[in-house]
Structure 1
């Protein structure tokens, strides 16, 4: 998600507090159209009220890649005490993060999510489906489409009907610093064509038991390439920023928008003037597969001014009901904390998204989301960004599927 440059910058590391005294803890935040400064300030205040003696120094990441920014700060001895939604791989193995005990994780639905060496370094509080396909029901009706596609053949037929009516089938972006936004068709096809049959595929890749040249992975890549070749993805859209891409869909510049489950927050609140539906990216046989990521919570530096109170504050921030309600309303979060119920007035797009996820959850067909993985079985640091750049070449025809796979294998080797 897009982050805004803010005036706060990292300062010197606060001094360790004396026992029982006040401690200042630095907390790295990021700002998006959904999660603005007011959201963070209010959430910080609520958590601080529950942990006496903690004073929070708010930092704001000035770049999109929070993990890269934390690396920069760490290199200069300014690693934040508390950090949200970073990639823990690398930091954890280097002993730079404090792990959470099983006793501290009892409130979470998936306490083992994103484990590194059997330990949890990021609170697994939030599930995001990445992606769902959000669609403009009015444009579907204009093209004579009366049902949501179930199989991939159905999906291609929908694309063809939309194009025949002069309607851009798929809205996609990825311009400037938002290259990550072009990944979601590939994330979807990897889920339906690779992870569906082998949930441990990326773990196998990590262990050196397969490569990106695996025919199943290349097939998934070929599907994305074919969508572009057939004119179902407009390459010109790759110059759009994330906010402009979302706006393009809300302005009816295309019929379908593959995006993460945070989009319903905007869809339900900004009311684009047409009804929005949602369906999972279709599989070959019509079975249900939903790629998702659970994590995104706070991590604590192993060298925080007061590790114990930093962890208590992180838990207070992450489990506060008002904080959770705020991020559900503001960012469409699907909370993975036991007993939590979202606000009753959540809008129809959010409710429809959660219904699809719940159905996949109960049928056991939720997979991980390619490029979003964390923990032991994850892409090496920086490779997701490389993959996003490679997808641009794939969509513009500069790379074939086989060349894209070879590119990822080469970048994987470099990252090691």
Structure 2
């Protein structure tokens, strides 16, 4: 996201700044393996502290026991990362280690021969991971990345603002959610913060509604049939159009970023909007982008996306994902050794404590002490089904069209039918 979208969903570091390169370890070279000196080019999306420094420290620790190895680290903001990675992959020059959300994007890179098959290697630490950790990175029995964190998307809300508007309990149905939005507006409170400029946060709404209306099987079957222009998907868009009609978003949301000074996370973190639909990294990003870096503290709460009356999907099905690292086709063996290194419980705890994410290493669960993150963990543990972010689960062209078309619906420029048809067209052309 992602990124933390991490972004998109980055899950770890999301400020909108440019890439910063850092070389750690032994003597410099041209960025490739050369004799006894091996440089690992590592791209990640934790482009702000605290994880920016934490990852660098972890790389330094690794080089202490691996003479001749050094790291060339390139931290990138989520969208910049995706653009730069696409360019390098198309040129046949992927980084040695790079962030991935898994799904169709990763599998397309694997099909093109740009990433290593890690199936055999991951066996060395597979049993230390939670059972579902590798799902998003495995296709046809082959694993192409090692996960580092996991989570789900839900509503993060300001308890004080909800109480002021007379919304005493989190809404459990979509009808109740719309009523909560009306009450917030009536109380003079901006109901929702949204980073319309970045598009990926908006697709969360359409995806969740499609899950609630049609069920997880509908999302999977649509990709097989290359047909999203069905009544269930159109109905999902219709429900989102109902929300848009209430004008629930902050002023200027179409030009707002996610982790910018006046973006989605800051708007919630500074108490200027009552809620946002975001992943498990939200509290950290809200805090880091709020005045005084304080965030909402005890005023912050979390609730799952509401059920839709009459829908085929279960209210306990969840949507989201985490982050992992893939290994480029020309990476030295030490790149894979580093993935095993960061999967050690003591290192997984560092990420969990520092970045505020849910670890995939079972022994690192004790590092999750934040009550809100614990609530996310409980929701995940009780979930009946899981759907990866659509702009990662589907092939890149389809995922991008989902983001683009939903953005048009949120801007009032596209109907639910037009959204469904545009995604169908992209699927058939892909």
Tell me the TM-score range normalised by the shorter chain: 0.7 to 0.9
Q: Give the corresponding residue for 1:59.
A: 74
- Which of 269, 292, 295 is the aligned partner of 1:250? 269
Q: Deviations over 1:171-198 (max 9, x none)?
A: 21222xx23222222232123223xx3x
| 1:273 Cα offset (Å) | 6.3
Q: What SS does the corresponding residue of 2:350 show, helix, strand or coil?
A: helix
Unaligned runs of 5+ in 1: none
Q: Give the corresponding residue for 2:305.
A: 281
Structure 2 counterparts to residues 397-416 of structure 1, below 5 A: 397-414=412-429, 416=430
- Contact kept? 1:26, 1:57, Cα under 8 Å: yes
Q: Note if 1:227 corresponds to 2:243.
A: yes
Q: Deviations over 1:364-410 (max 9, x none)?
A: x232134254xxxx322143333222222101211000011111122
Q: Give the corresponding residue for 2:128.
A: 107
| C-alpha distance in 1 between matches for 2:49 and 2:181 | 30
Q: Give the corresponding residue for 1:338.
A: 362
TM-score where L is the length of structure 2: 0.82
| C-alpha distance in 2 between matches for 1:156 and 1:370 | 24
Structure 2 counterparts to residues 2-401 of structure 1, below 5 A: 2=14, 3-8=16-21, 14-17=31-34, 21-33=36-48, 36-49=51-64, 51-61=66-76, 64-85=79-100, 87-102=105-120, 103-104=123-124, 105-109=126-130, 110=132, 111-129=134-152, 131-175=153-197, 178-194=198-214, 197=215, 199-208=216-225, 211-234=227-250, 236-243=252-259, 244-266=263-285, 270-272=294-296, 275-285=299-309, 288-304=315-331, 306=332, 308-317=333-342, 319-343=343-367, 346-360=369-383, 365-373=384-392, 378-401=393-416
Q: Deviations over 1:81-126 (max 9, x none)?
A: 1112263132101122111125233322223433223211011332
- Contact kept? 1:125, 1:336, Cα under 8 Å: yes
Taking a change above 3 Å as real, the CA distance of residues 77 and 14 of structure 1, as seen in their structure-2 partners, is farther
Q: What SS does the corresponding residue of 1:113 show, helix, strand or coil?
A: helix
- Contact kept? 1:265, 1:350, Cα under 8 Å: no
| 1:136 Cα offset (Å) | 1.0
| C-alpha distance in 2 between matches for 1:80 and 1:271 | 35
| C-alpha distance in 2 between matches for 1:15 and 1:369 | 34
| C-alpha distance in 2 between matches for 1:219 and 1:153 | 14
- Contact kept? 1:137, 1:275, Cα under 8 Å: yes
TM-score where L is the length of structure 1: 0.85
| C-alpha distance in 2 between matches for 1:34 and 1:145 | 35
| 1:256 Cα offset (Å) | 1.8
| 1:54 Cα offset (Å) | 2.5
- Contact kept? 1:143, 1:162, Cα under 8 Å: yes
| C-alpha distance in 2 between matches for 1:193 and 1:179 | 22
| 1:247 Cα offset (Å) | 1.0
Q: Give the corresponding residue for 2:11.
A: none
- Contact kept? 1:172, 1:245, Cα under 8 Å: yes
| 1:77 Cα offset (Å) | 4.8
Unaligned runs of 5+ in 2: 1-6, 8-13, 288-292
| 1:15 Cα offset (Å) | 4.3
Taking a change above 3 Å as real, the CA distance of residues 138 and 359 of structure 1, as seen in their structure-2 partners, is same
| 1:252 Cα offset (Å) | 2.0
| C-alpha distance in 2 between matches for 1:134 and 1:297 | 24
| 1:309 Cα offset (Å) | 2.4
Taking a change above 3 Å as real, the CA distance of residues 59 and 231 of structure 1, as seen in their structure-2 partners, is closer
